[in-house]
Amino acid sequence: MSRPPAGKDRGRRPPPPRHPPKEETPFRRPAADVVVLYGAHAVREALIAGRRKLLALYATENAAERIAPLAAAAGLTPKIVEARALSQRLGEESVHQGLMLEACPLPEADIADIEPKSGLVLVLDQVTDPHNVGAILRTAAAFAVDALIVTERHSPDFTGVLAKAASGALEHVTIVSVVNLARALEQLAERDFLIVGLDSEGPQPLEASPLRKPLALVLGAEGKGLRRLTRERCDILARLDMPGPIKSLNVSNACAAALMALRLRLG
């Protein structure tokens, strides 16, 4: 029997075809100094406000057309990606509306940087839910609040879900992060701020309290409320009187109701 010629295939299966290497993800690698914003309002306001350094804008074809003028004004060219790629990057539950922006964090601010234009400041005592803080930021921007003060610990990151919930307000409200909230309240008092703690067990209704500007409204976490040291630094503890059968509100809703009461009372 003749043998196959040397060097020829002796009946072995040919090796499977080699697949081309997968393209690297178009997005930057997550880093501590990179903030991710997504959704039409959050991205739009970041492009307009110009308060932070912008790194890269990713958009679907349709979204890129809508955002093109603002992107060009901000010096960015959208990188076209599939909606599926954004969902994979941000999470399937994210409502990104075809837009994602990578940017640097906002400049850090201190209590001394607060300019009392409206004479109202919000202080959050360990409110940790990003949806609530985002909604509070949106309300703060609507009422032209001068600043939002939060604690470095037990506060959510000001990016992603929070920025989406804030609907662009993140770019318009000065945010001050402090290590010691009790000390921060003392600093506000030294600047002649009236410190008002919102407490469901407060001895008097907010609208009946002796109020004046500048005023710092302090809100506690749901369930826990204001901590002892925080309460001790307040000049007034006041409550929101609810006429209906439910006597308490979600902290973001309570914030909106309180700001409206203060606006009606103080102008």
**CATH class as words, domain 35-103:** alpha beta
Residues recorded for the chain? 267
Residue spans of the domains in the chain: they are 35-103, 111-266
CB-based contacts of 233-236 (< 8 A; 24+ apart in sequence): 233/182, 233/185, 233/186, 233/189, 233/195, 234/185, 234/195, 234/196, 234/197, 235/189, 235/194, 235/195, 235/196, 236/194, 236/195, 236/196, 236/197, 236/202, 236/204, 236/209, 236/210, 236/211
What pLDDT shows up at residue 57?
96
CA distances from 207 to 150, 161, 213, 249, 261 (A): 25, 33, 14, 17, 6
Tell me the whole-structure pTM to 2 decimals: 0.84
Three-class SS state of 156: coil
What pLDDT shows up at residue 267?
82
Give the pLDDT mean for 132-156. Answer: 96
**CATH class as words, domain 111-266:** alpha beta
Cβ-proximal residues to 19 (8 Å cutoff; 6+ apart), any chain: none
What pLDDT shows up at residue 12?
58
Same fold for the domain at 35-103 and the one at 111-266? no
What pLDDT shows up at residue 198?
96
Q: How far apart are CA 214 and CA 194, in angstroms?
A: 6
Structure token pair of residue 248:
């308490």
Please state, rounded to an integer, the average pLDDT across all residues of the chain.
89
Q: How far apart are CA 147 and CA 122, in angstroms?
A: 6
What pLDDT shows up at residue 223?
81
pLDDT tens, position by position, 1-59: 455 555 544 555 555 444 334 334 567 656 668 899 999 999 999 999 999 999 999 99
pLDDT tens, position by position, 257-267: 999 999 999 98
Q: How far apart are CA 33 and CA 222, in angstroms?
A: 30
Q: How far apart are CA 22 and CA 158, in angstroms?
A: 33
